Amino acid sequence: MRILLVGSGGREHALAWRLAQSPSCRALYCCPGNPGTAQVAENLPVKAEDLADIVQAAKQQAVDMVVIGPEDPLAAGLADQVRKAGILCFGPSAQGARIEADKAFAKELMRGASIPTAEAHIFTDLESARDYVLSREAGVVVKAAGLAKGKGVFVCPEPYQAVKPLEQIMRDKVFGQAGQKVVVEELLTGQEASILALCDGRNLYTLEACQDHKAVGDGDTGPNTGGMGAYSPTPVIDQAMMARVEREVLVPMLDAMNRSFGRYEGCLYAGIMLTAAGPKVLEFNARFGDPETQPLMMRLRGDLAAAMELVCRHRLGEAELSWDPRPAVCVVMASGGYPDKYQSGYPITGIDQADAMADVKVFHAGTALRDGQLVNAGGRVLGVTALGETIAAAQKRAYEAVAQIHWTDCYYRHDIASKAIS
CA 213 to chain centre: 12
User: Averaged over 30-53, what is the pLDDT?
Assistant: 97
At 75-127, the pLDDT tens digits run 999 999 999 999 999 999 999 999 999 988 999 999 999 999 999 899 999 99
Of 391, 357, 49, give the one whose Cα is nearest residue 208: 391
3 state DSSP class of 241: helix
pLDDT tens sequence across 293-335: 999 999 999 999 999 999 999 999 999 999 999 999 999 999 9
Q: Which of 143-152, 395-404, 405-414 has the lowest mean pLDDT?
A: 143-152
pLDDT reading at 389 higher than 80 = yes
- Return the higher-pLDDT residue of 146 and 392: 392
**pTM for this entry:** 0.94
Parallel, antiparallel or unpaired: strands 27-32 and 42-43: parallel
Task: Report which of 303, 314, 310, 379 is spatially closest to residue 341, judged by C-alpha positions.
Answer: 379
As a whole number, mean pLDDT of residues 5-29 equals 98
**Domains of the chain: residue spans and CATH:** 2-94 (3.40.50.20), 125-180 (3.30.1490), 191-323 (3.30.470.20), 328-421 (3.90.600.10)
Mean pLDDT to the nearest integer, 326-348: 97
| pLDDT tens digits, 225-272 | 999 999 999 999 999 999 999 999 999 999 999 999 999 999 999 999
Q: Kindly indicate the confidence band of residue 142, based on its pLDDT and cuts at 50, 70 and 90.
A: very high
Report the distance separating Cα 70 and Cα 299, nearest Å: 21
pLDDT given for residue 151 in this prediction: 76
Q: What's the pLDDT at 94? A: 97
Contact 140, 186 (CB under 8 A): yes
At 272-294, the pLDDT tens digits run 999 999 999 999 999 999 999 99
Checking if the pLDDT of 177 tops 80, the result is: yes
Residue 330 dihedral angles phi and psi, to the nearest 5°: -115, 125
Asked if pLDDT for residue 130 goes beyond 80, the answer is: yes
Res. 60: pLDDT tops 90 = yes
Dihedral of CA atoms 256, 261, 263, 266 in degrees, nearest 10, equals -90
- The mean pLDDT of the chain is 96
pLDDT at position 180 over 90: no
- Please provide residue 395's backbone torsions phi and psi, each rounded to the nearest 5 degrees: -60, -45
Residue 178 neighbours by CB distance under 10 Å: 22
pLDDT at 218 over 90: yes
- Whether the pLDDT of residue 149 is over 90: the answer is no
DSSP letter, residue 45: S
Contact between residue 200 and residue 258 where contact means Cβ atoms under 8 Å apart: no
Sign of CA dihedral 363, 331, 339, 122: positive
| Position 150 pLDDT exceeds 80 | no
